[in-house]
Structure formats: C-alpha cells, structure tokens
Amino acid sequence: MFASENGLKGDPRLDAISRSIRVIPHFPKPGIMFQDITTLLLDPKAFKDTVDIFVDRYRNMGIDVVAGIEARGFLFGPAIALAIGAKFVPLRKPRKLPGEVISESYILEYGTDCLEMHVGAVSPGDKAIVIDDLVATGGTLSAAIKLLERAGGEVVECACVIGLPKFKVNSKIKGKPLYILVEPTEIDDFC
C-alpha cells in the first residue's frame, strides 16, 4: 500500500520526498527512467522525513530485524533499526560477506542474481521487515523474504521508498504487505 492511502494522504513530507528524487533518463540503458535517490540523501529534511515515516510505522510492531537489500537498503535500514531498537541485517550480493552464509537465487528480466545473509543473523521467530529504495517487479524482495523465512524469521512487511503504480492494485509480495512512500518521479521530456 502507498503511504498516501494509509493515513498520510496530503502529508507534505511525501511531496517533499518525491520532489527530492532526481530522474536520470536512459540510465543504465535506453528506456529506463532511473530514480536517483542520491539527491534525496543530499536533502537532510527529506532524508529525515523518509526515515521518520518508516520509524513511525514500525516503532510499535515488535520488529526484531530490519533487513536491508544491497545497496540502497543499507542507506535507510540502519537508521530505522537504531530508532526502533532492532538489529540491522545486510542482505548482500554473492561473495561480499565473510564467514558462513545462506543464499537465495532469483530471476531478473535479464538473468539471475542472488542475495546472501550471514548464518545466525536471524533467529527463529524474529519479526522482520525488509527495506529497499525501489520496487519494480518484486523479484529481489521475494528473494529476501525467502531468505529470511529459511532462517526462521517472520517477515511482517516489505518497505520501499519508491514503488511502481502497479503495486496500488497488488500491494503484496509473496503474501507479505508492501508499504511504499511515493510513486516514481516522472519527467515531461522523456523519450
């Protein structure tokens, strides 16, 4: 569900967050409108508002784990985890974590990829949320859910700063609720 449909309709913070996201046409390949959150990070108020909205949502849910998807989930996840008293668990690309890991492969439109997590990072029964910057197809979030559940965690919800409009109709990933702050920023001269 989009935040504007869940108690934050008309909240000026959502407009400010949306305005702070820069669009880079044709990156990384022709036809893609890349949603660049680095400009959001350069705006301390918009960045704080983004984290605060997530913190307000998850503060009283008894969350044990905030799992951040590499790499942009690492930008929001630790701040949320600290504010709600949860541990932060990085979900990384292959061969980035030292020590023993468990992994989950997933299919992309152009191939396959994989997420890894340290063995023991999530305990059976831990209540978890998954955070990332953007959801387009849901493939990466689905892999994150599978990985956390294989470790015995209970995924409560997935959260993204940006979500494609199609998620207004189906706001679940693998049966888990999906919470999104804003839709992608559009530009008029994209061709």
Q: Which of 13, 72, 104, 157 is catalytic?
A: 72
Which helix (H) or strand (E) segment is 49 a member of?
helix 44-58
Residue type at 82 in one-letter notation? L
CB of 102 closer than 8 Å to CB of 150: yes
- 72 tagged catalytic: yes
Distance CA 182, CA 42 (A): 18
Q: By C-alpha distance, which of 80, 91, 83, 167 is closest to 122?
A: 91
Q: Do residues 156 and 127 touch, judged by C-beta distance below 8 A?
A: yes
Q: Does the active-site annotation cover 154?
A: no
Catalytic residue among 92, 95, 104, 109: 109
Residues 19-34 as b/e (b if ≥16 CB within 10 A, e otherwise) read: ebbeeeeeeeeeeeee
Active site residues: 72, 109
